[in-house]
Structure 1
Amino acid sequence: MRGIPEHLEEPLQLASQELKGMLHADAEDDVKLVHKGLMLYRQGLVGSLSVQGETISAVVQDVTPANVLLNLDFFSMSECSCPADGFCRHQMAVFLQLLSRAHSVSEWVEEWRRPLKEMQDAKGWGLQKARDLLKTAGMMKPSYDKWIETFEISFEELFYSKGIIKPYIIPEIYSIYIRRLRAGAPAEREWRLLYELIGSIYTFRKLADLSQRLEYEEAVIHRYYGHVFQSIMDDVFERMRTLSAQSFPFAFDEFIERMKVDSIEILKGDVPLEYERIHLYRILWTTFFTKKNWRQDERERLQESNDSHSFSLSAAAIHIDFLLRQDEDALRALSEKDPSLTTYMLYWIETLNSQKDWKRAGLYLEVFISKLHDYLQQQPDYYTCRDFTRLAIKVISPFCTETGSMDLFERALEETLPYSYNEYEYLLFENQEYEKWGDLQAYIGFDMGILQNDRIKTLEKADPIILLPLYHHGIQSDIDMKNRDHYKAAVRKMKKLRTLYKKLKRMDDWSLYLDEILLKTKRLRAFQEECKRGKLIDA
């Protein structure tokens, strides 16, 4: 019978798209899986198909019959009785059987294969012109304008002449483009390095602008061709390092002057790729444009910029101030501007750490730590905050260790709570600051049930009073869960708490506490029963 229930139409479409992303037409195992699933479906071996909500059940008559439960909402939760791990040919066959009731299976397969076909087609774009360029390589007289014009023509032809291009094709087109670019490089080594450096910087900017024009989201860029930007930056750094190891010929002066002026163009673009734009600009001015007067001129250029509210230009201006050791101006801007600049401070602090310039590092760390809380408040999820906190602690540690400024280190841990809990808890316990340690547990809402026995024993000897509120909190948390297993856990904690009160010779306090708990839970019959079984109260 053709057609599917109306409520399944949207889940089926979403599942169809998810499956296209999960299975790759250029991966041999995935190709085999789709082919085998297609064969099972076309041979009519999928039967007993039924629908329950968004779950599809069916039997696939393979060599051994396979029972399949297909979850359209979460493919990872689909099941099959066969021994294969993960998504298997039987689940594929059931999906295709369901799809066939509402859509064309052949069209789905063709769409799934299309990215591979487009990537293969892309490999042939412009190859003839690349050969032509190889014939004329090195014949062009060094000229900044001519080089840029050549890059421009090649980029426009490859990236714009085919209409809207898919993100997964961009790496293929880039590989053709970069071969063409290098084919036209001058023969002399120094000029070739300069040519390729200028070409890489130009390409980065054009590819970032293209991404913005196509309105690709950050996640899409990083998934499909983020590695291209990283490769370009690696190339830029390597060529700068090689060129900077020697004195520049006088003939380079005009080229370097144009590069300096054009470097600001890297920053002219919104998100996505804001971080990458700023990072490339910073490594250029840190590694290649090293003369003081160059940096002073750049500072004036940035101050005269019409777009004074641009986040990227603000970060660039602070970087130039940092390089010129204009720390007062840089730190004032960091204090006053968007907390988002906090992540860029990691680079400057790491630079000062590597130079062992502890005096300057201390100034930047003070501002950095004061911004941590607000910066973390802006982040989208726990894992982003935790990853950034780890980086921050790693960057702060060298200064605090070398200068003995552990008070600054502790302040950083406080500002990054709860993401710094593990590091802060360890620090306080190792320093025997047990009262602070107890306050931290109360703040976090720590469960006594997972506290290591050696820590409990240490606290019982050193400062047992610290454990009392932790036990109280743990017991109440277990009771609030209102099930038999947690009631048993609460009783176990209460027995340990009673022992602790006895050791402190505060049994009157224990009696008051027990009476209060029993009064509050008088309607919780199961909990009262567990208290009797644990001999906390008379049967």
Structure 2
Amino acid sequence: MLQHNLNEEEVKQTAEQIKELLPATDENKQLIKKALITYRQDSVYRLKQESDTEWSAYVHDVVAARVHFHVLFPVRSSCSCPAEGLCKHILAVFFSLYAQVESVTGFTENWSEQDELQRSKELIRQHFQVKRPDEQSLQSWLTFFQDEFNLWLKRTPKHQQTPQHLYYGYLSILKKHAPTSPEFKSLYAIHTSIDVWLRLHELIDLGRLDAEKDFYSMNPYVEQLMNTIFDSVDHLKTYALSFSLDPFLENTPTAVRTLLQISGPFQHERVAVFMEIWGTILNRGKWVKKETELLKNAQQQEQTVERTIGLMHMDYLLKEDERLFQQLQLLNAHILPNVLNWLKDLTNRKDWKRLKLWYNEISYVLEEYCQLDLSYRELRGAVSDFFFYLDAYFKQTKDHHLYERYLQICMPYAFTEYSQLLYAQQRYAEWIEIHSLVGFSISELEKELIKQIAKEEPEALIPSYHREISLLLDQKNRSAYRESVKMLKKLRTLYHKTKKTAIWERYVKQLQDSTKRLRAFQEEMKKGKLIDDTP
């Protein structure tokens, strides 16, 4: 039964990835040996498929380990044990799955032959005279990348020139030659990730990949590359960068700029990486001004959205907000995710004065974004992020008018935030009203909150009960009539609390007269002692 749920090809691809992730070193040989023993002792139990690509299992040990195994991306697998990366428990679960499609013994034998395979690769590399990169030369790195990619193209069959093989084959080779210095290692990781990203576009140009059809197969690898870049940037931010890095940093913009010059998929992601790198490790006035001129010259030859946003980011770094706002008005609301990046940075810097200018300027972007033909999840996600930053500004400045104006602009996607604000300010009638606007009936609201409102401002609940009763009567069935009578009794209590008994009596009389033909409802009203039972 387990075999029927497995994709044989995907499991085999996973096996190849594990071979790449675990070179046949003495340490890894011991790890594989322990995992094999664990697997062959039937220590894996409660193996369960969670999704098309994810499995969960428990593994017997001194303390039982809980494993989540990802078939397509084993590097994303996790284990409850303290070991980092691919531990013996994760590998034991992998062997349990692999055994359903191939021989585990065959896998280990092929894996152990990797030393010989690596020597063969060395011979090929020597044949093509690929030079090792000089740790102290960026140009040497870039030359090494190009030579290795040419070699990868030659030795990799065309049908295997895929995102997966590029990531686990080509990138793995580049990683093996990373510098030893922590600073240079992080910068090397940024350049290798950008290089692999650009190689994906080369494969599109070569016809190996289709930008639309292969988008979802490329997406997880682009995410991994982004994570590597952001993590490396964060790592570099912890250092007081030494002057020895300056020649590397000064020449880094060329590679980063290439992300804006290519066209095709992952536009937002490419721009986000450009903005992150320039906002951190490259953010020096002289370099920013030089980049501005280069982007302007390129833009004069061919205008692109990517370069427009790149120039806006240069304006942001130079604090030329008015010029940035002028450009912002020329773009459509899809730019909101980029605007959120700027708001995030200003919030982290606690630049409340500059944020005041921004929040007074960009309301139209939010308004237009909320009208885009996007999924609710996407719209809600962006609005939620926006209010996360606006909330920090609001707590600092207490600008209630601004905060509520944005809440109204972003409805219904700001429903959660607006609801919390209205309830906290005891504006119960409005709180009830926005719940009604988004489709909540009075019976669906939290009972404790309704009790609190009934106690403090009973009049606020009256319109909602009237609406609910009308909707129930429209259903024209006995169960709806019984429910409407319950609502009428609660409504009567509210009218009594507000000392509006005369209005209640007039309403019930009108209701009785208008529903004379609804005999079942009239009977339920009599049973509930809402009207006189006498003929």
TM-score, L = length of structure 1: 0.68
Any conservation in 1 of the 2:383–2:414 contact (CA below 8 Å)?
A: yes
Q: Report the AA paired with residue 304 of structure 1.
A: N
For 1:181, the equivalent position in structure 2 comes to 174
**Alignment partner of 2:402 out of 405, 408, 425:** 408
Distance 1:230 1:537, change over 3 A: same
For 1:206, the equivalent position in structure 2 comes to 199
For 1:391, the equivalent position in structure 2 comes to 385
For 2:310, the equivalent position in structure 1 comes to 316
Distance 1:204 1:538, change over 3 A: same
For 2:226, the equivalent position in structure 1 comes to 230
For 1:514, the equivalent position in structure 2 comes to 508
For 2:218, the equivalent position in structure 1 comes to 221
Give distance in 1, aligned partners of 2:358 and 2:375. Answer: 26
Give SS of 1:418's match.
coil
**Alignment partner of 2:158 out of 145, 163, 168:** 163
5+ unaligned residues in a row in structure 1: which ranges? 1-16, 29-73, 75-109
Shift of 1:186: 5.9
Give distance in 1, aligned partners of 2:147 and 2:235. Answer: 23
> Is residue 2:280 matched to residue 1:287?
yes
Question: Alpha carbon RMSD of aligned pairs, Å?
Answer: 4.1
Distance 1:186 1:472, change over 3 A: closer
**Alignment partner of 1:245 out of 241, 253, 257:** 241
Residues 309-364 of structure 1 show CA distances to partners (whole Å, capped at 9, x for unaligned) of 42222221111111111111112222332111112122211211121110111222
Distance 1:428 1:189, change over 3 A: closer
**Alignment partner of 2:473 out of 469, 476, 479:** 479
For 2:293, the equivalent position in structure 1 comes to 300
For 1:63, the equivalent position in structure 2 comes to none
For 2:482, the equivalent position in structure 1 comes to 488
Shift of 1:471: 0.8
Residues 115-158 of structure 1 show CA distances to partners (whole Å, capped at 9, x for unaligned) of x999x99x979844654679988575865455323312323443
Any conservation in 1 of the 2:197–2:222 contact (CA below 8 Å)?
A: no
Any conservation in 1 of the 2:189–2:229 contact (CA below 8 Å)?
A: no
Give distance in 1, aligned partners of 2:161 and 2:478. Answer: 56
Residues 228-258 of structure 1 show CA distances to partners (whole Å, capped at 9, x for unaligned) of 3234324542564477622236xx53x5444
Give SS of 2:426's match.
coil
Give distance in 2, aligned partners of 1:308 and 1:483. Answer: 67
Give SS of 2:507's match.
helix
Any conservation in 2 of the 1:197–1:240 contact (CA below 8 Å)?
A: no
For 1:370, the equivalent position in structure 2 comes to 364
Shift of 1:516: 4.5
**Alignment partner of 2:414 out of 420, 424, 429:** 420
Give SS of 1:332's match.
helix
Any conservation in 1 of the 2:131–2:144 contact (CA below 8 Å)?
A: no
For 1:340, the equivalent position in structure 2 comes to 334
Residues 451-498 of structure 1 show CA distances to partners (whole Å, capped at 9, x for unaligned) of 334433443344332212111112223333444433322211111112
Shift of 1:203: 2.1
Distance 1:404 1:201, change over 3 A: same
Distance 1:453 1:180, change over 3 A: closer
Give distance in 2, aligned partners of 1:528 and 1:22. Answer: 68
TM-score, L = length of structure 2: 0.69
Give SS of 1:288's match.
coil
Any conservation in 2 of the 1:308–1:314 contact (CA below 8 Å)?
A: no
Q: Report the AA paired with residue 298 of structure 2.
A: S
For 1:460, the equivalent position in structure 2 comes to 454
Q: Using the TM superposition, name which of 522-531 and 428-437 deviates more.
A: 522-531
For 1:13, the equivalent position in structure 2 comes to none
Give SS of 1:367's match.
coil
Give SS of 2:370's match.
helix
Give distance in 2, aligned partners of 1:148 and 1:453. Answer: 65
Identical aligned pairs, as a percentage?
A: 26
Give distance in 2, aligned partners of 1:452 and 1:388. Answer: 27
Residues 415-469 of structure 1 show CA distances to partners (whole Å, capped at 9, x for unaligned) of 2222222321221122122343343234234311133344334433443322121
Give distance in 2, aligned partners of 1:206 and 1:414. Answer: 45
Shift of 1:535: 2.6
Shift of 1:169: 3.2
**Alignment partner of 1:277 out of 266, 270, 273:** 270
For 2:91, the equivalent position in structure 1 comes to none
Shift of 1:506: 3.1
Residues paired across the two proteins, number: 435
Give distance in 2, aligned partners of 1:185 and 1:441. Answer: 56
Any conservation in 1 of the 2:178–2:185 contact (CA below 8 Å)?
A: yes
Give distance in 1, aligned partners of 2:279 and 2:201. Answer: 21
5+ unaligned residues in a row in structure 2: which ranges? 16-51, 53-97
**Alignment partner of 1:444 out of 433, 438, 442:** 438
